[in-house]
Structure 1
Amino acid sequence: MLTSNLEKIERFAAKVWRIHSKEDPINQLSFNEYDYLKVIQLAPEPIRLTDLAVEMEVTKPSATNMVQRLERKGLVQRKMCTEDSRAKRIELTEKAIIGLQEESHVYGIMSKGLEKKLSREELEQLNLLLTKALK
């Protein structure tokens, strides 16, 4: 039953995305590219390539290739690391920031859809359970 419900959540999300998302660079990304952007976005400061590779659980050459791909798409940029002149830090470009903001809007629409179907207590319970399960 859980497997079936997770599939239904994925279909619900896909439907909301099709209806409400605009044509932007984030929509055209592979899941892997998107995952890299989210890790970079959630880092407290521009992230070092080594740390990005660790967070993504990939080799440093794999992370380098992905960062280069995202750079070509204009979604990330590298800047010098002040602590280590040999290292570079990766940060999102304005183009990526705007695309990820649009994505947050779509998740807000999904949330409102769930709010219409669940009571306040059920929503709180769902949120607690998801928080626990996703730690």
Structure 2
Amino acid sequence: MNWMLLSGALVAIVVMTLTARWLGLGIEPHIADPEHARRLAHEAHFGFQPVDIAISQDGIAALLLGQDDRLMIIRRHGNHFVARLIGPPVSCRLDRQKLILSSGENMFGEVVLDLGDQGRSWADKIRRMEEKCGA
């Protein structure tokens, strides 16, 4: 076995690994705080003004209520985020403290937000919005 070839390959692997870390590759993004969620919403839909923001405890999704009573869901997709404005009808159910939302769009799928104690209040907000639009 050629030890020079083996050591050269190992050095190349270490250099590539360190370069990937330095570039931030392979790091899963999280929604850090409400301001970060607000920026993501603005990037996705110019003019959307959130008045209430709930971020999942794991930081991979957020639910935003706009000043015009529209809802936006932001969720992680790979190492980016995707956002959808959703409106009635919204499929919403509460499983313990996890709010499970479906926009009705198959490509977007269901979004599970672990909102802790806020889960019930957000489920109630969504149900009230549904009732208001259905009346």
Q: Which has the higher strand share?
A: 2
Larger radius of gyration: 2
TM-score, length of structure 2 as denominator length? 0.23
Higher relative CO (CA 8 A, sep ≥ 6), structure 1 or 2?
1
Q: Which has the higher helix share?
A: 1
TM-score, length of structure 1 as denominator length? 0.23
